Structure formats: structure tokens, C-alpha cells
Amino acid sequence: MNPVPVAVRVRPRFAVSSISTEATALMVATLASAGLNLVFWLAAARLYPTGAVGRVSVAVSAWALLSGVGQLNLSTVLARFLPDAGRHTVRVLAGSYAAIIVASLIVGAGFVGLGFGDSFLGGGTGTRMAFVALVAVFALFVVQDTVLTTFRRTLWVPVENVSVSVGKLLGLLAFAAVGSSSLAITVGWVVPTAIAVGMVTVAVFGSFAPAQVRAAAPADRLPTAREFGAFVGAQYANNLVGTVATFAAPLVVVDVLGTRQAAYFNVPWLVIVTMQTLLWNILTPFLVHSVREPDQVRRHAARVLRIGAPVVGLGTVALVVAAPVVLGLQGAAFAAGGTPLLRVVALSFPATAVIVFTTGYALLERRLWRLVAIRTPAAVCFLGGAALLLPRLGVVAVGIAYVTVQTIVAAALLPGLVRRLRTGGAPVQSTPAAGRIPADDRNCST
């Protein structure tokens, strides 16, 4: 495969890598918003009945699950291709946003139509239609951080996320006098998110994307529709497995144990999602910079390890030690019900790191189906094992099943990851300047 000339592959403004700065900004955004979201649920637990908190927390988990499915994993795909979309930037973004909205509405309507939300959705048709529409809003919110990163606006991400989280908390307090406690919590959660999605969308299409078009070189490296579709399909399958495994767990809990136990489950599982997000915060700049500088993958990987290793080690220890203190802020019942779960799931952090960074190399090399083949039965075992153990062990059963499955998957992937870190991995599969992939590299997902 003939390499792309350096003059085309790397723009001067990216000659000095800023992976550390970008990863730090994304992690600050995640930690700050997670901390404020924790305060949100702590306040909700103090102000409202446990049943109402449980119902809304399950609705939020459902939005997370459905938006994860509906966003088609275009967040990662855009990180892989948007930096070099050139004159096609606006078209790629518009097509991606349209696809996300349509897919999210279909997924949300199917979820509601099949009755999966009956255990926590009250009200009539209007409530269910609002739930479906909000799936699309949350799906766009998921994608926005990556879009801002690819346009070199990473510092916007913590500002946006913290503003949204503060808005959620203020909304919760402002609507405390509303007659329906579930409505007050829901409104406090969704309104700031919807406002942020609108504002960032205007900025992206009104300023950032047109600026990249104006600065584009005559040639670009956007793949053909067939090649793009092959990559999207492979990564979507891989992401779908992880999304379903992560966000279906709260739905299993509420179905087996009810809304009260779901309230105890909510914060520990929110921590797990935050841990996963932190790792992706580190991986996303690594992916973007490695696409731009494929001859520097090993150096970028070393920088990522220097950031990631302390995060994984300190995060695991801190959560095990501080679990009862953190959950005790919600009350004694929440601490008793959730501490064992939080301590158990914290032990999965190192295994999750192995899985996430292996996925990063697979994205660069466009070799994703092996991951899908490993993670699909693992997800089935996790959800099935959790459902079987929940009646006997309570919410900690989910943690036991999760740690067991994550550890087995990480053990299978670890030798390959170590080999890539030592050698720099296989060559990054780049699209030549003409926008087409050579014949011997057309399978984007093997």
C-alpha cells in the first residue's frame, strides 16, 4: 500500500501532538459532569420518594441505551474520517446527523411500541412521544463531544458538559414544587441537555464545518460510500454489543427487583459508565492523531499509556475505598444497598481498559469483527448471568457477572494488545488522497 505523502497527511497545525491536552480536557468534562450528576441524584434522593427516583433513573438508563443504539456509533466513525472530509465536511455531518435522528426515532418508537417502557413510563400518548423524541436528543448529545474534538474545539467540551450538569441540578431544584415528583426530576434532567444540543448544532453547522471546508485542500481522503458503509457496519456491531450490555442492565434490575432496588443500583452503575467514558476520552485523541500521523502510532500509544495507567490504577483503588462514603451521601439505605455493587464493579476497570484500547487499534487497522465475535457471547453471558443471580444475590449480582465476563474477555485480548504496544501495531489503514482504498485493503472490517 503506497503511503500518502506527509505533506498531505499531516497539516502543519497538527505537527505538535496535543493528545495529553485533549485527553485531559475530555476527562475533566467527564469527571466534572459525573460529579455534578451524582449531586443531582443525591439531591433527588433527599427531595423525592425513592420510587420516583428509581423510575426516572431507569428512564435515563433507557435513554442512554436507546441513544447509544440510535447514534449508530457515528461518534467513533466521525473521529476516524471527519478530520479529512475536506470539502465534503458539511455533507458528511448533515448525513450523519440525519441518520442519527431517524435511527433514534425508530429505535425509540420500537422500544415504546413493544411495551418495554411500561414499567416506568406513565401518562398517555404525549408522554411516550416525548420519550421517543428525547432519544434523538440524547443521541446527538453523545456525538457532540467527538465532533467538537475533530474541529479542534476540545476545550468547549468541559464547558458544555459542566454547564449542562449545573443546569440539570438547578432545574431539579427549580421544579421541586411541581406536583409530580417524577416530572420534576425528568424536566430537570432533559431541558439543559436539549438546549446544549441546539446551541452546539448551530455552532457546528454555522461556523466550524464551513471553516474546515474553506481551509480544505483540493484533494480529500474521504472513502467511497461502500467503504464508509462497511466501516460503519463493523464498528456499529461492535459498539452495539457494548451498549446493550451496559445500558440494558438497569432495565433487567427493575424488571426483576423493582424500582426501589433500581434506585440503589443507579449510582454505582453510573460510575461504571463514567469509568468507560474516561477511557474513551483518552482513546479518542489517540485515534484522531494516529489517523493524521500514522507513522507516530507507537509514540501516541506511549503517551496514552502514561495518561491511562494512573487513571485506571487510582480510579480502581479510590472507588473500592470510598464506595460507602460516596453512596452514604444519598442516605444509609442507599449506602447499604449499593456499596457492595460499587466495590465489585470497580474491580472491572483494568479489564475494561484492555478492551477499550484493543478496540482503538482495531479501529485504526479496520479489523473489528473478531472483537464482535468475542464480545457478543460475553454480553449474552453477562446479562443472562445477572438475571439468574439477581433474585438470590440482589443488585450485587450484576457486578459479579460483569467483572467475571470483562476479565475473561480482557484475558483473551491482552496478548494481542501487548504485541501491538511493543511493535506499534499493524499499519493504519488510511484512505489515499484520491478518496479510494486500494483493492487489497478494501475489506474494512476483517
> For residues 382 and 234, which has the higher predicted lDDT (pLDDT)?
382
Q: What is the pLDDT of residue 426?
A: 59
- Weakest-pLDDT range from 39-43, 368-372, 373-377, 416-420: 368-372
> For residues 82 and 176, which has the higher predicted lDDT (pLDDT)?
82
Q: What is the pLDDT of residue 284?
A: 83
Per-residue model confidence as pLDDT tens digits over 32-69: 888 888 889 888 888 888 778 888 888 888 888 899 88
Per-residue model confidence as pLDDT tens digits over 117-154: 777 776 677 888 888 999 999 999 989 988 998 888 88
Q: What is the pLDDT of residue 429?
A: 59
Question: Band of the pLDDT at 7, cuts 50, 70, 90?
Answer: very low
Question: Band of the pLDDT at 234, cuts 50, 70, 90?
Answer: confident
Per-residue model confidence as pLDDT tens digits over 312-329: 999 899 989 988 888 887
Q: What is the pLDDT of residue 306?
A: 87
Question: Band of the pLDDT at 6, cuts 50, 70, 90?
Answer: very low
Highest mean pLDDT of the ranges 66-80, 399-413, 425-439? 399-413
Residue 350's Cβ-count burial label (10 Å; 0-12, 13-18, 19+) is middle
Q: What is the pLDDT of residue 179?
A: 56
Question: Band of the pLDDT at 438, cuts 50, 70, 90?
Answer: very low
CA distance 283 to 145: 13
- Weakest-pLDDT range from 67-71, 132-136, 204-208, 423-427: 423-427
Q: What is the mean pLDDT of residues 164-184?
A: 80
pLDDT at 11 over 60: no
Taking the C-alpha atoms of 239, 244, 247 and 251 in order, what is their torsion angle to the nearest 10 degrees?
Answer: 170
CB 334 within 8 A of CB 267: yes
CA distance 324 to 267: 12
pLDDT at 219 over 60: no
Q: What is the mean pLDDT of residues 262-281?
A: 83
Angle at 238 between CA 34 and CA 347, to 5 degrees: 45
Grid cell 441518520 in the structure block, residue? 99
- Weakest-pLDDT range from 2-11, 68-77, 93-102: 2-11
Q: What is the pLDDT of residue 425?
A: 63
pLDDT above 70 as % of the chain: 87
Q: What is the pLDDT of residue 372?
A: 82
Q: What is the pLDDT of residue 288?
A: 77
CB 253 within 8 A of CB 337: no
Contacts for 421 with CB less than 8 Å, ≥ 6 apart: 298, 301, 305
pLDDT at 445 over 50: no
Q: What is the mean pLDDT of residues 260-276?
A: 82
Per-residue model confidence as pLDDT tens digits over 381-416: 999 999 999 998 988 999 999 999 999 999 999 998
Per-residue model confidence as pLDDT tens digits over 336-358: 888 899 999 999 999 999 999 89
Q: What is the mean pLDDT of residues 202-219?
A: 83
CA distance 378 to 405: 6
Q: What is the pLDDT of residue 8?
A: 35
Q: What is the mean pLDDT of residues 103-115?
A: 91
Exposure on the CB side of residue 127, measured as CA atoms within 13 A: 12
CA distance 187 to 173: 11
Question: Band of the pLDDT at 201, cuts 50, 70, 90?
Answer: very high
pTM: 0.69
Average pLDDT, the chain: 81
HEC letters along the chain: CCCCCHHHHCCHHHCCCCHHHHHHHHHHHHHHHHHHHHHHHHHHHHHCCHHHHHHHHHHHHHHHHHHHHHCCCHHHHHHHHHHHCHHHHHHHHHHHHHHHHHHHHHHHHHHHHCCCCCCCCCCCHHHHHHHHHHHHHHHHHHHHHHHHHHCCCCCHHHHHHHHHHHHHHHHHHHCCCCCCHHHHHHHHHHHHHHHHHHHHHHHHHHHHHHHHHHCCCCCCCCCCHHHHHHHHHHHHHHHHHHHHHHHCHHHHHHHHHCHHHHHHHHHHHHHHHHHHHHHHHHHHHHHHHHHHCHHHHHHHHHHHHHHHHHHHHHHHHHHHHHHHHHHHCCCHHHHHHHHHHHHHHHCCHHHHHHHHHHHHHHHHHCCCHHHHHHHHHHHHHHHHHHHHHHHHHCCHHHHHHHHHHHHHHHHHHHHHHHHHHHHCCCCCCCCCCCCCCCHHHCCCCC
Q: What is the pLDDT of residue 102?
A: 96
CA distance 216 to 222: 12
CA distance 411 to 327: 31
CB 69 within 8 A of CB 243: yes
Cell of 380: 449474552
